[in-house]
């Protein structure tokens, strides 16, 4: 177990309620002798208030274990708005361990994008279907769809699941891949080994690559996105048992 002696607290700046809870969290920790730092470099843990989307936004600069406080529909956060005090008391008294989650790396034309904790989506830039050429392993597929989603086990209960891909256990050595509304159901959703490398190229018009629903990048005809399991894992705080 790791001991908690200092923390950094982040919140969604667009949600007044999250800002208020973050202020409560800071006071709560300081009252128990845990230093609250403004900079992550000096902290043992990051507390993120605002839900899964806020965690996905903060993950780029987070080499710290993250403890998330979100609403009732959160899939990543360890605490809700009504029970975070109890869980932080447990961590303060007993310590915590790290739950490492797989992430995805994506490069477009050889240039790396942000890492994805949930998924990478390649989609049309407008309301027209995009023709995608998808290759992985010994397989090659050419089909029209609204897009394609590749997800980690953590993200497999979100967008890719809605598109028909299987939900995966959080630590499965798998990735999920599904087409978004494919023409004539041309590509069947599936799970593949996490060593799989995906190559995706738009063939009829430019497309957009979206990382965790947060960061968007353009990819033109003749361009290619390469998606694979990232070398770095995402550290979530695991509560003491």
Catalytic residues: 52
SS (H, E, C) the chain: CECCCEEEEEECCCCHHHHHHHHHHHHHHHHCCCEECCCHHHCCEEEEECCHHHHHHHHHHCCCCEEEEECCCCCCCCEECCCHHHHHHHHHHHCEEEEEECCEEEEECCEECCCECCEEEEEECCCCCEEEEEEECCEEEEEEECEEEEECCHHHHCHHHHCCCCCCCCCCCEEEEEEECCHHHCCCCEEEECCCCEEEEECCCCEEEEECCCEEEEECCCCCEEEEECCCCEEEEECCC
Distance CA 150, CA 105 (A): 11
**Gyration radius (Cα) of the chain, Å:** 19
Contact indicator for 159, 149 with CB cutoff of 8 Å: yes
Distance CA 90, CA 104 (A): 31
Question: In the beta sheet, which residues pair with residue 7?
Answer: 36, 45
């Amino acid at each position: 177990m790791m001991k908690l002696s200092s923390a950094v607290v982040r919140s969604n700046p667009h949600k007044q309620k999250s800002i208020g809870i973050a202020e409560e969290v800071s006071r709560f920790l300081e009252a128990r002798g845990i230093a609250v730092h403004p900079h992550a470099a000096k902290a043992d843990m990051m507390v993120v208030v605002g839900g899964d989307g806020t965690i996905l936004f903060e993950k780029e600069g987070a080499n710290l274990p993250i403890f998330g406080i979100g609403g009732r529909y959160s899939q990543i956060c360890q605490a809700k708005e009504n029970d975070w005090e109890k869980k932080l008391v447990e961590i303060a008294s007993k310590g915590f361990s790290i739950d490492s989650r797989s992430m995805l790396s994506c490069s477009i034309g050889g240039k790396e994008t942000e890492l994805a904790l949930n998924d990478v989506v390649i989609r049309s830039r407008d309301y027209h279907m995009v023709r995608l050429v998808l290759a992985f392993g010994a397989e090659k597929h050419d089909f029209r769809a609204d897009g394609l989603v590749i997800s980690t086990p953590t993200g497999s209960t979100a967008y890719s699941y809605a598109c028909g891909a299987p939900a995966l256990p959080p630590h499965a050595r798998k990735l999920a891949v599904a087409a978004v509304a494919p023409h004539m159901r041309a590509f069947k959703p599936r799970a593949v080994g996490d060593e799989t490398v995906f190559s995706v190229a738009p063939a009829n018009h430019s497309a957009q690559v979206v990382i965790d629903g947060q960061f968007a990048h353009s990819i033109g005809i003749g361009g290619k996105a390469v998606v694979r399991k990232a070398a770095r894992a995402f550290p979530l705080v695991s509560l003491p048992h």
